[in-house]
Amino acid sequence: MKNTLSTHQKISLLTACLFTGVAPVMGYLSIGLAPVIIVGGSALTGLICWYFTYLRKPVEPEIILPLFILTVAGLQIHIVEEYLMGFAPAMSRLFGIPWSERSFLMVFALIGPVIYTLTSLGLYYKIPLAGFVAWFIFIGPGVAEFTHFIFPLISPELLPYDPHTLTADISGTPIPDMPNFYFRTTGHYYFPGLWTAILPMIPGCTAIYRLMIKRQRKIIN
């Protein structure tokens, strides 16, 4: 079995490594520690899984592409709930970070769909880097969405026992109407995105299972 990477694969690996290192740093500088944990953790885990699966041998589009499309479709429905219920300002209050609704919409509602569309095209043509983006999405929305079920149990950084919305400057950025979803304060077990978090999780986790099982079968054979 050939173990060496082609030039194209090496370029894809370098690009993926740069993203894994740079994206969490940029998130930390612009928002705070939360993106480092969520984005950085998903990127690193996705990088490792992608390296041992799709990078060396891209799977056929019919195996990965439908599950990727279903994952991002579920993710977009999930994002609608997050936006309507105030996910970004709720996260700002929860972790004391300056996450505005404008930046939330820019990343997840505008830039995100462009990346998903190009990734779908890349998976169709079995481009290695597209596999990394797919793994990142499978790990993030596919697995990390379970954090929505934990957020209501975490005491917010800002006025945890005040049930009213809060407007404040965080690191020089004005964040208006930050809601409080702390369960001990509200008595309601909810956080923006909780109702639809399962939608991207089902196809995302299914994709992870299928890709890892396929690799395991190749090792056995």
Q: How many structural domains compose the chain?
A: 1
For residues 201 and 67, give the distance between their C-alpha atoms in angstroms, rounded to a whole number.
11
Task: Report the percentage of the chain scoring pLDDT > 90.
Answer: 76
**What pLDDT score does 71 carry?**
97
- In one letter, which amino acid is 169? D
Residue 108 lies in a domain: yes
Residue 69 lies in a domain: yes
- In one letter, which amino acid is 28? Y
Domain membership of residue 133 as a residue range: 7-220
Residue 2 lies in a domain: no
Query: Across the chain, where does the E strand assignment appear?
Result: 166-170, 173-178
Residue 177 lies in a domain: yes
Q: Is the pTM of this model over 0.85?
A: yes
Residue 121 lies in a domain: yes
Residue 1 lies in a domain: no
Residue 93 lies in a domain: yes
| Rg value, the chain, Cα | 19
The residue with greater pLDDT, 163 or 40, is 163
Distances (CA, A) of 37 to 23, 140, 219: 11, 11, 32
For residues 167 and 179, give the distance between their C-alpha atoms in angstroms, rounded to a whole number.
9
SS3 at position 63: helix
- Strand-pairing partners, residue 170, are 173
pLDDT digits (tens, 9 = 90+) for 126-155: 999 999 999 999 998 888 999 999 999 999
Q: Average pLDDT of the chain?
A: 91
Q: Which of 29-38, 94-103, 148-157 reaches the highest mean pLDDT?
A: 148-157
**What pLDDT score does 217 carry?**
58
**What pLDDT score does 1 carry?**
42
